[in-house]
Amino acid sequence: MLINRTVLRFVTSARGHLALTVLLGLAASAAAVGTAFALAEVVARVLSASAAGSDAGRELGDALAPLAVAAALTLTRAGLLWWRDQCAVRAAIDVKHRVRARLVRHLFALGPAHARRTRSGGVQATLVDGVEHLQAYVGFYLPQVVVSLVVPATLVGILATRDVAVAVLVAVGVLSVPIAQRLWKRLLGERADVHWKAFESYAARIADTLAGIVTLISLGATRRAGQRLAEQAEQLRAATSANLRASLGVYIVTATAMSAGTAGATVLAAVHAAQGSLRPSDVLLVLFLAAECFRPLQDLQTYWHEGFYGLSAARGIAQLLDTPPVVAERPDAAPASLRTPPALSVDDVTYRYPGATQPALREVSLQIPAGSTVAVVGPSGAGKSTLVQLLLRDLDPDSGTVAIDGHDLRDLPLNQLRRTTALVAQDVVLLDGSVWDNIRLAAPDADDAQIMAAVRAARVDELADSLPNGLDTPVGERGGTLSGGQRQRVALARALVARAPVLVLDEATSALDAENEALVTEALHGPGADARTTIVVAHRLSTVARSDLIVVLDAGRVVEAGPPAELARMGGAWARMLQIQRASLQTAGAVR
């Protein structure tokens, strides 16, 4: 039997529907058994009347009552099977809903750091197709396991009251089915796992290709991308074919055993009837009962193949659910009273990414005063984004402490930290909906005046004037109908309307032109700026020129920190960065 503990954890919510599915399956089998006895009685009465020399009308009259019972039981069985299938589907839908809800909650708990390291296409395959594969397993296979245990055992007992040898022969046939399935179980399990991994990989490749289709076209790389898709599609086809061949093999063996068991029992009953140890009508009864004895096993065999797909998907679901969050909330985490705006501090922090040979940050210390604007600059790979993730508690340091108003971030509930901070990243993600919907997402309770203030500060009002329906214009999937700079302005408005005490801008104006960058920067330093603590990560130094403090990172260390004017006079790393950027601007001007 195919039993998965991960799935069983979610089955308890649907145990009522599953129990009813089992009872209806048993009742349907009972109706079939009743039909068999009724038809046997029809034959017995006809034979008895014939032996007594009764006319045809008398024979038919004697058989009408059991024939009517058989017809009524046949209709009853059809109704019971329809009801059973309805209950099975409802049970499966309930379990799928619970599994998906649990997966989504866990994905949110895993946090942004996990999302950055994981292929979204693979997660999507587990969340959508993987959960769908549970339907046949939960709704049909699991209840059928119970029916397949109860019905054959009961019917073998009934057959034993008529003919022990026939009962033994049927029992041997019944036992050969699970034995054959067990012999094939390991092979089918391996093939199903290979199939699911191939499917998950192919789904991830499809998602990646669709997300990057514009880039692939612009690079002329569509043929190469198509070849990779074709290769993975072939791997999926081969895995599916191998799985089907293995499934067909066990199906042939078990079908042969069931057919041989039914035929053998019927022939043996006929021999015993010829010898006089059985009534002739009992031969028909043996045929019907033997067939009904194997019927639940045939149904189970039908669901067995889907059950392996369900188990393979369940292993993917279990793997995702067993993945620990990158940052976990401590059991004793308690909300703290924080100032508005708060101060932040980084004390002797070192962090190394899993699998990396060198730390991304080493022994970093800095103070971010309440209400200040602090810029973090440095070359690519200096550790700027890692520092941001630590300040947001998307990551926890390997050593050292990151604190807000003196409270270690690890001592605070994650919900409080998420409400305290707002992030505008370089790679902006907008959800399918209108511009207004995306801005309001950060603060559902904000009134129109607050939203419009954020719209004006981020220069989204000018953007809205150029859109067909203004702020009600749909942005498309991932904001695809807007340019990079337009998406950044919408994301900035979304962060501003949240009115979070800590605002983090990670290359948030990189896609804006110089004029809009200057206007947005002016708005960030305008009214309300002293009500928040702002951390700005940027390569364009014009974005951070008005910051209160500059922190220069290089190779994971703080090489300079202080007011921008003071650092410029010192002639260190900040002064060199200014000089290089001025020289590049002068060169660009000379070229024009």
Q: What pLDDT, on the 0 to 100 scale, is given for residue 514? A: 65
Answer whether residue 88 shows pLDDT above 60: yes
How many C-alpha atoms does 554 have within 13 Å on its Cβ side?
A: 8
Both tokens of 27, joined, read 């009742």
Closest-CA residue to 70 (of 98, 96, 38, 97): 38
CA distances from 191 to 196, 199, 308, 426 (A): 9, 12, 9, 43
Q: Which is more confidently placed, 589 or 373?
A: 373
The pLDDT confidence band at residue 344, using thresholds 50, 70 and 90, is very high
The residues spanned by each domain of the chain are: 98-321, 344-426+500-591
Contacts of 221 (CB under 8 A, 6+ apart): 215
Residues 304-333: what's their mean pLDDT? 77
For the segment 169-207, what is each residue's pLDDT rounded down to a tens digit?
A: 888 888 887 777 676 666 666 676 777 778 778 877 877
- Report yes or no: 268 and 191 within 8 Å, Cβ to Cβ: no
Q: Which pLDDT score is estimated for 75? A: 94
So what's the pLDDT on residue 186?
Answer: 65
pLDDT at 7: 72
- pLDDT score of 489: 83
Residue 26 binned pLDDT confidence (cut-offs 50, 70, 90):
very high
Residue count of the chain, please give it.
592
Mean pLDDT (the chain) is 81
pLDDT value for 217: 77
pLDDT of residue 51: 57
Cis geometry, peptide bond prior to residue 341 (ω within 30 degrees of 0): yes
Q: What is the pLDDT of residue 345?
A: 92
Q: How confident is the model at residue 100 (pLDDT cuts 50, 70, 90)?
A: confident
Tens digits of residue pLDDT in 28-63: 989 988 888 888 887 777 776 665 555 555 555 667
pLDDT the model gives residue 511: 57
Report the range of poorest mean pLDDT among 43-57, 110-124, 159-173, 338-352: 43-57
Which of 274, 293, 19 shows the shortest CA–CA distance to 148? 293
Residues 92, 138: contact at Cβ < 8 Å?
yes
Count H helices, E strands: the chain? 20, 10
The whole-number average pLDDT for the span 242-256 is 72
Write the DSSP symbol of residue 341: S
Q: Lowest mean pLDDT of 180-194, 195-209, 214-228, 440-454, name the range.
A: 180-194
Q: Which CATH architecture has domain 344-426+500-591?
A: 3-Layer(aba) Sandwich (3.40)
pLDDT, residue 86, reads 92
pLDDT grade for 209, boundaries at 50, 70 and 90: confident
Residue 20 confidence (pLDDT): 92
If one compares 115 and 157, the residue with the highest pLDDT of the two is: 157
| Residue, of 580 and 379, whose pLDDT is higher | 379
Greatest distance between any 2 Cα atoms in the chain = 126
Q: Which residues contact 461 (CB under 8 A, 6 or more apart)?
A: 452, 455
When the candidates are 3.10.20.740, 3.40.50.1980, 1.20.1560.10, 3.30.70.1070, the CATH number that belongs to 98-321 is 1.20.1560.10
pTM, full prediction: 0.71
Q: Mean of the pLDDT values across residues 481-490?
A: 81
Quickly state the pLDDT bin for 453 (edges 50, 70, 90). Answer: confident
Structure confidence at residue 80 (pLDDT): 93
DSSP string, 288-319: HHHHHHHHHHHHHHHHHHHHHHHHHHHHHHHH
For 251-269, letters b (16+ CB in 10 Å) and e give bebbeebbeebbebbbebb
Q: Got the DSSP string for 508-562?
A: TTTTS-HHHHHHHHHHHTSTTGGGSEEEEE-SSGGGTTT-SEEEEEETTEEEEEE
β-partners of residue 407 are 404
Q: Is the pLDDT of residue 82 over 90?
A: yes
Q: Angle 15-51/280-321 helices, nearest 10 degrees?
A: 170
Other CB atoms closer than 10 Å to residue 480's CB: what's the count? 11
Q: Which has the higher per-residue pLDDT, 180 or 490?
A: 490
Q: Read off the pLDDT band of 395 (50, 70, 90).
A: confident
Instruction: State how far the alpha carbon of 103 is from the alpha carbons of 96, 110, 142, 392, 457, in Å.
Output: 10, 10, 22, 23, 38
pLDDT band at 527 (very low <50, low <70, confident <90, very high): low
Of the ranges 105-109, 560-564, 573-577, 583-587, which one carries the lowest mean pLDDT score? 583-587
State the pLDDT at residue 385: 87
